[in-house]
Each structure stands twice: as structure tokens, then as C-alpha cells.
Amino acid sequence: MTAADHPLVIGVGNIYAGDDAAGRHVAQGLRDAGFPGEVVESAGVAADLVPLFETRDHVILVDACRSGASPGTIHRFDALDAPLPPFLSPLSSHGYGVGEAVELARALDMLPARCEVFAIEGACFDMGTQMAPAVAEAVEHCIAELMTP
Amino acid sequence: MNDKVIKVDMLARVEGEGAFKVVVRDGEIVGTEFRIFEPPRFFEAFLQGRDHMEAPDITARICGICPVAYQMSSVHAMEMALGITVDGPLRDLRRLLYCGEWIESHILHAAMLHAPDFLGYAGAIEMANDGHGDAVKLALEYKKAGNAIVTFVGGREIHPINVRVGGFYKVPRKTDFAPLREQLLKARDLAEKFVDWTASFTFPDKERDYTMVSLSHPDEYPMNEGRVVSSKGLDIDVTDWPAHFREEHVAHSNALQGFMVDGSSYLCGPVPRFNNAYDLLSDRAKAAAERVGLPRDNRNPYRSITVRAIEGLYAVDEALRIIDAYEEPDAPFVAYEPRAGVGMAATEAPRGLLFHRYELNDDGSIKTALIVPPTSQNQPSIEEDLQSFIGDILDQPDEDILLLCEQTIRNYDPCISCATHFLELDIDRG
């Protein structure tokens, strides 16, 4: 088994913006735990995410979101099934985030054969704040799940 | 219908949170407000008391799109305060890093955010779904070359970490450049095609007599260093900036607005650079401008999309020139002792001139910091564009007016996150 036999995990977010750091912490935690596949951290600009999908069979995107659920809730989506919900198109840089990246990749016929999205519900996305304990717990839960073969 | 308010409460396809309002009375526009409501971020106060070495990394956080610009203006200003000069290969590497950011930022804005305005789509996804997928793919591939430069020189793609006062933490070996060079050679062909694509759009036939402000250097297209000049005869050392420019707080915006000291507006960004320094573009960039009929004295702001494409091509050329001439420096940075001093610098962020001024204490800690981002400077010009450009379409449906307003604002590639340090449109017709 090589890294290419495992999914590419992309942790999206801003490490300095409270709960928005969740996806980045999942990526860092996977690296620390020796995840056998490739792990990438991204600010979540769609134009940078789509090229990462090239030549990949399986991509897992992990991002923070705000849907109104309780903080720490983990939402799971199969991007191949249906368009992602609007709360995954947040006001990220230039208004183009994970939701737009998946839809742009779909329009360009660049979606991987398997493309899953883990969205961790956050509450506070203010610059300079820490992740809430419930979000940090969800991060650990995602890491444990992704590490389980 | 002679009185109305037209507004957009949250403008899409811009960086940050802003809005716009047009007030019409008796069929005349009586007010235009470009409002930035993203909360102020107080970076200048946050820098006080921090070590001068932290400035490049802290200020880089102001913007996810142009961190290199913040790093460059801050290190140049610090170096003036510390009395050191960074030249030779270290200076060239900084210019190379900046070329990477110009490519990343210009292509992201031109292809994904601004092009849909010209082609009549809500966004890049709709554009890609309706026959323009190849152009979007080309842009994504081309932009990767910019990311590759930033990763190579800056240490990583997001918020580069390799820049320090005095130079870099680590410098590449000459032999390390080969894969990047190959990628840039391929990107050069994409850059040429991208210029032609943007030039094929239909542009609103509108112009204004802007005061175009940019850096000016005798040998280099404006980027890292130079005097501050304008199309109306200004020619000053950057240290004279405070005597010629000022910032003002206006009630409707969380970002300070930049003016000339006489209170007039000015324009900074790709169009002023192109107009003020055309002769210093690479031969290939000049040939492309000529091929697509872009005038040397362009006053049509909608053609800024093609100017960005020309600057992208220039940045690819310049990056290749720097790589081919590169000789490994003796040390990755110039050593120095901290001291008290005042330093200021302006560099050319992709969207325009970025001025920094710092005052340092004896131990090298920051006493005061002043940051004037390009979008702050361009706000008054944005409001004047709207005042000038939509007056003749006020009898058209609000939806058409909104579209032209948004397209006009996107000419500036406004970075609201930088300036609050963008957009809602509100047309008040009474």
C-alpha cells in the first residue's frame, strides 16, 4: 500500500479564526498520528482546491461550517450524491470556499470518483480566538474515525 | 422613478464584507457610498510592543490573498529603520516571490471573480457550466505556477514563512530551480492565451481622468521599490508620503479612505502601473498588449482585467529572468543590530500601492505602526466611478444598474479584509 492508495485529506480553514481552524487541526492531527495517505492544509480558496483533485480517486475535505446545529456536530456529505448545502459556501476568501470548489470541479468534470466532505459545526469564527471545547472534541473524533482503516 | 435607492447588502466575489448605496433624487445621483462593514481589525495597535522581526509574519495575516505584499512592505520599512540594505540575489528572490503572488492574485481575480461580469454569469461555476470550462481550466493551471513560486521561495503556499527582516531564513540552491523553471515555461504559453481571452470581452465604453499613482523605478516595472509618482506630475521619495497623502474616517465605512492632501481622489493598482511604466514591461508583455489593442494610456477601468492578464504574463517573464540570473547568495540574510529608528516603504501589492511606516524602540520593538492598504486608497475613486458611470443608465431596471455597479467595483479587485482594515448595493431613489 502506498500513500496513493489512501484518500487525500484536505483540512480547510483559518488556523487563527476560532472554530474555523477545525479542518486544519484535523489535518495536523492526522499527520501527527501517522495517517498513511497524503494530508494537505488549505485556506479553502476554490481555485486552489480544485487542482488538488486532479488525478485523485478519493478526496476527503474537512472544513468548519455554520448551519445552526450545536457546535461540534459533524455533518457528512457525499459530494457525488448531490450539491453541497449552502452553509458550506461561507464568506471565505473572495467568497469561494469548499462548496464552490466541489461545484466548480463538478462543472469542469474534475471531481474525484469518491469525494466526501466532513463539516464540523462551529460557533465563533473571530480572529484571534481559540476553538471551542466541543469543536476540539469533534476534531479528535474526526481524526480517530479517519485513522480507522 | 426619479427618486430611488439602489442597494446591495452583501457583494459577492470580493474579499471581505462590504456594501454599496446609490441615492437618486430627481433623476440625478446625489450620493454614492461604498461601505466597508467588516469589523476593524486593529492590526496597527496589535503591532505596538511586538518585536520588529514579528512584523512580516503578523502583517501577512491581514490578507489571505496578498500576504507577500504585507511581508515585503514591512521588511523594507524595517530595513530602512535599521539602516540596512538588502540587494543582489536576496533582493531578486524577494521580487521572484512577489511575481508569484501577482500571478496567484491576478489570475484568481480576473478568471474567477471578474470575468463572469463580462460574460454575463453569476459566477465562475455558471461560466464553467456554459461553455467556458476550458478557459477556467487554463486559469487554474496557470495560477498553479504562482502558487509554486510562493511555495518554493516562501516556504509554503499559504502565508509564506521564509521571509525575514534582512532577507530570508533559507535560500534555494541554483540547481533547485529546474522544476519551477519548467512549470513557468509552460505557464508562459497559458499566460499569453489568458491575455487574449480577457481581451475578447466587450468592455463598457467609459473612462475617467484619474490621477494614477504607482511606484517608479528607473530599471524595473514597479513592484518592490521606487519613488512614488502620479500621472499628474507627482514624483516623491516614499519618505515624503505623509506630506502628500492622508487618510480620513468617513461615517459610512469601517475602513479609512485615502486621499491626496488636497482632498482629491487617486487610483492605484495595475492600470496606473501599466500606464506609468509601460516601457519597463517585458518585450513579450508589451507585444501582447499591442496585439490585443490595449492603449498605453488606458483610462477605461473595465480593461483592468486585461491589464491584470498582461501583468501576469510579465510576472512569468520576470520570474524566469530572475531564475536564469540567480546566483546563490553568501548568506540568507543581512545581519544587523536592533536600534531605534523610523522606516517606511511602499511596494506594489497586486491591487495597488501598500504603504507601511514603523517607529522602532532601542531594543527593536515596535513603537508605532501605520499601514495604508490599496483598497483604502481606492475607495474614494470607487465612489467617483459609480457617480460617473451609472448616471446614463438610471432609467434601466435596478438589476442592470446593480450589475454595472458590481462590475465597476470589481475593477479594483477590492480587498475589504485588507481595508478594514466589501459589498451591499443600495440605490436610494427617494
- Cell representation of residue A98: 469548499
- Cell representation of residue B405: 455597479
Query: Are the Cβ atoms of A42 and B158 closer than 8 angstroms?
Result: yes
Q: What is the pLDDT of residue B249?
A: 82
Pair A121, A66: CB distance under 8 Å = yes
Cβ neighbors of A90 (< 8 A, separation 6 or more) are A65, A66, A97, A99
Q: What is the pLDDT of residue B376?
A: 85
Pair B219, B281: CB distance under 8 Å = no
Identify the contact set of chain A against chain B, taking CB-CB distances under 8 A.
14, 16, 41-43, 45-48, 50-51, 91, 93-96, 100, 103-104, 107-110, 127
Average pLDDT over residues A48-63: 93
Query: Are the Cβ atoms of A93 and B128 closer than 8 angstroms?
Result: no
Q: What is the pLDDT of residue B424?
A: 41
Selected residue with higher pLDDT from A35 and B14: A35
Q: Give the closest residue to B220 by CA, choosing from B359, B318, B353.
A: B318
Distance CA B54, CA B33 (A): 36
Average pLDDT over residues B129-152: 96
pLDDT category at B177 given cuts 50, 70, 90 is very high
Average pLDDT over residues B411-420: 66
Distance CA B359, CA B242 (A): 14
Average pLDDT over residues B51-64: 84
Kindly write down the DSSP assignment for every residue of B367-422, as one continuous string.
EEEEEE-HHHHHHHHHHHHHHHHSGGGTTS-HHHHHHHHHHHHHTT--BHHHHT--
Query: Are the Cβ atoms of B65 and A48 closer than 8 angstroms?
Result: no
Q: Give the closest residue to A119 by CA, choosing from A52, A57, A81, A69.
A: A69
The residue to which cell 540570473 is assigned: B325
Average pLDDT over residues B118-137: 94
Question: pLDDT for B190-232, tens place per residue?
Answer: 999 999 999 999 999 999 999 999 999 999 999 999 999 999 9
Q: What is the pLDDT of residue A73?
A: 95
**Which of B65, B156, B158 to mutate against chain A (most A CBs within 10 Å)?**
B158
> Pairing relation of β-strands A8-12 and A39-42?
parallel
Instruction: List the domains of chain B with CATH numbers.
Output: 4-428 (1.10.645.10)
Selected residue with higher pLDDT from B251 and B153: B153
Size of interface A-B (CB pairs under 8 A): 67
Q: From residue B14, how far is each of A77, A91, B92, B198, B379 by CA, in Å?
A: 27, 10, 31, 19, 14
Distance CA B366, CA B46 (A): 10
Q: What is the pLDDT of residue B11?
A: 57
Average pLDDT over residues B156-162: 81
Q: Cβ contacts (< 8 Å) between B123 and chain A: which residues?
A: 100
> Can you say whether residue A38 is alpha, beta or left, with left for phi > 0 and alpha for psi between -120 and 50 degrees?
beta
Cβ neighbors of A110 (< 8 A, separation 6 or more) are A50, A53, A54, B137
Q: Give the closest residue to B50 by CA, choosing from B428, B358, B348.
A: B358
Q: What is the pLDDT of residue B247?
A: 86
Q: What is the pLDDT of residue B416?
A: 59
- pLDDT beyond 80 at B105: yes
Residue A56 distance to chain B (closest CA, Å): 16
Q: What is the pLDDT of residue A43?
A: 84
Kindly write down the DSSP assignment for every residue of B414-428, as one continuous string.
-BHHHHT----EEEE
Q: Which of A45, A46, A91 sits opposite B17 (nearest CB)?
A: A91
pLDDT category at B425 given cuts 50, 70, 90 is very low
Average pLDDT over residues B125-134: 95
Average pLDDT over residues B288-317: 97
The phi, psi pair for B231, rounded to 5°, reads -70, -10
| Cα within 13 Å of Cα(A23), Cβ side | 29
Q: What 3-state DSSP class applies to B22?
A: strand
CB atoms within 10 A of CB B370: 16
Range with the poorest average pLDDT among B27-31, B146-150, B169-173, B229-233:
B27-31
Q: What is the pLDDT of residue B10?
A: 58
Q: Letter for the amino acid at A138?
A: A
Percent of chain B with pLDDT over 90: 69
> Pairing relation of β-strands B28-36 and B4-8?
unpaired
> Which fold does the domain A3-147 belong to in CATH?
Rossmann fold (3.40.50)
Query: Are the Cβ atoms of B14 and A48 closer than 8 angstroms?
Result: no
Q: What is the pLDDT of residue B423?
A: 39
Average pLDDT over residues A42-52: 89
| Max CA separation in chain B (angstroms) | 70
Q: What is the pLDDT of residue A91?
A: 46
- pLDDT beyond 70 at B114: yes
- pLDDT beyond 90 at B168: yes
Q: What is the pLDDT of residue B8?
A: 64
Q: What is the pLDDT of residue B317?
A: 98
Question: For residue B19, what are the β-bridge partners?
Answer: B35
Identify the contact set of chain B against chain A, taking CB-CB distances under 8 A.
12-15, 17, 41, 61, 64-65, 107-109, 111-113, 123-125, 128-129, 133, 136-137, 139-141, 143-144, 147, 157-158, 417
Q: What is the pLDDT of residue A59?
A: 97
The end-to-end CA distance of chain B, in Å, is 9
Query: Are the Cβ atoms of B112 and A103 closer than 8 angstroms?
Result: no
Question: pLDDT for A68-108, tens place per residue?
Answer: 899 999 999 999 988 888 777 654 444 568 888 999 999 99
Q: Letter for the amino acid at B151?
A: T
- Cell representation of residue A105: 470541479
- For chain B, give the mean pLDDT: 90
Query: Are the Cβ atoms of A47 and B157 closer than 8 angstroms?
Result: no
Strand stretches in A45-86, DSSP E: 58-65, 74-78
CA B60 remoteness from chain centre? 14
H/E element, B358: strand B352-360
- pLDDT beyond 90 at B153: yes
- Cell representation of residue A18: 476560532
Rg of chain B (C-alpha set) = 21
Pair B217, B95: CB distance under 8 Å = no
Rg of chain A (C-alpha set) = 14
The phi, psi pair for B224, rounded to 5°, reads -90, -25
Q: Cβ contacts (< 8 Å) between B61 and chain A: which residues?
A: 16, 127
Distance CA B213, CA B346 (A): 12
Pair B166, B53: CB distance under 8 Å = no
Q: Which of A139-143, B119-123, B373-377 has the highest mean pLDDT?
A: A139-143
Selected residue with higher pLDDT from B250 and B48: B48
| Cα within 13 Å of Cα(B368), Cβ side | 7
Residue A105 distance to chain B (closest CA, Å): 9
Q: What is the pLDDT of residue B419?
A: 47
Question: pLDDT for B329-364, tens place per residue?
Answer: 999 999 999 999 999 999 999 999 999 999 999 999
Query: Are the Cβ atoms of A47 and B112 closer than 8 angstroms?
Result: yes
Q: From residue A126, how far is each of A94, A131, B10, B176, B417 by CA, in Å?
A: 17, 10, 19, 39, 13
